[in-house]
Amino acid sequence: MLVLNVGSSSVKFRAWVLGPAGWQLDCRGQLAGIGTAPVFRVWRAGCDQPADDTPYGPIDDAATAVAHVADWLEARLGAGRVSAVGHRVVHGGPRHADPVVVTSEVLAGLRELVPLAPLHQPACLDGIEAMARRWPGVPQVACFDTAFHRGQPEVASVLALPAHVRQAGVQRYGFHGLSYEYIAAQLPRVAPDVAAGRVIVAHLGSGASLCAIHGGRSVDQTFGMTPLDGLCMGTRPGSLDPGVVLFLLRELRLGADEVERLLYGRSGLLGLSGISADVRDLLASDAPAARLAIDYFVYRAAREIGALAAVLGGVDALVFTAGIGEHSPEIRARISAACAWLGVSLDPDANLEGRTVISARSSRLRVFVIPTDEEHTIAQHAARLAGLPPLTGVAGHRWAGSTAPARPGAGS
Which residues are identified as catalytic?
145
Find residue 29's DSSP bridge partners.
13, 42
For 397, which DSSP code? Answer: -
**Can you give 74-140 as a three-state secondary structure string?**
HHHHCCCCCCCEEEEECCCCCCCCCCEECCHHHHHHHHCCHHHCCCCHHHHHHHHHHHHHHCCCCCE
φ/ψ of 257, rounded to 5, equals -65, -40
Classify the C-alpha dihedral 325-330-332-335 as positive or negative.
negative
| Residue 213 Cα distances to 197, 217, 311, angstroms | 8, 5, 10
CB 382 within 8 A of CB 86: yes
Cα 79 versus chain centre, distance:
30
- 137: exposed, middle or buried (C-beta count within 10 Å: 0-12, 13-18, 19+)? exposed
| H-helix segments, 268-287 | 268-273, 279-284
Nearest alpha carbon to residue 409 among 293, 308, 302: 293
Q: How many Cβ atoms sit within 10 Å of the Cβ of residue 182? A: 24
| Residue 365 Cα distances to 56, 123, 146, 340, angstroms | 48, 40, 28, 10
φ/ψ of 320, rounded to 5, equals -100, 135
DSSP secondary structure of 353-389: HT-SB-B-TT-SSEEEE----HHHHHHHHHHHHTTPP
**How many Cα neighbours within 13 Å face the side chain of 4?**
34
CB 29 within 8 A of CB 43: yes
Classify the C-alpha dihedral 322-214-356-391 as positive or negative.
negative
Contact partners, residue 368, CB within 8 Å, separation at least 6: 190, 191, 317, 318, 319, 320, 356, 357, 358, 359
Interatomic CA distance for residues 117 and 104, integer angstroms: 20
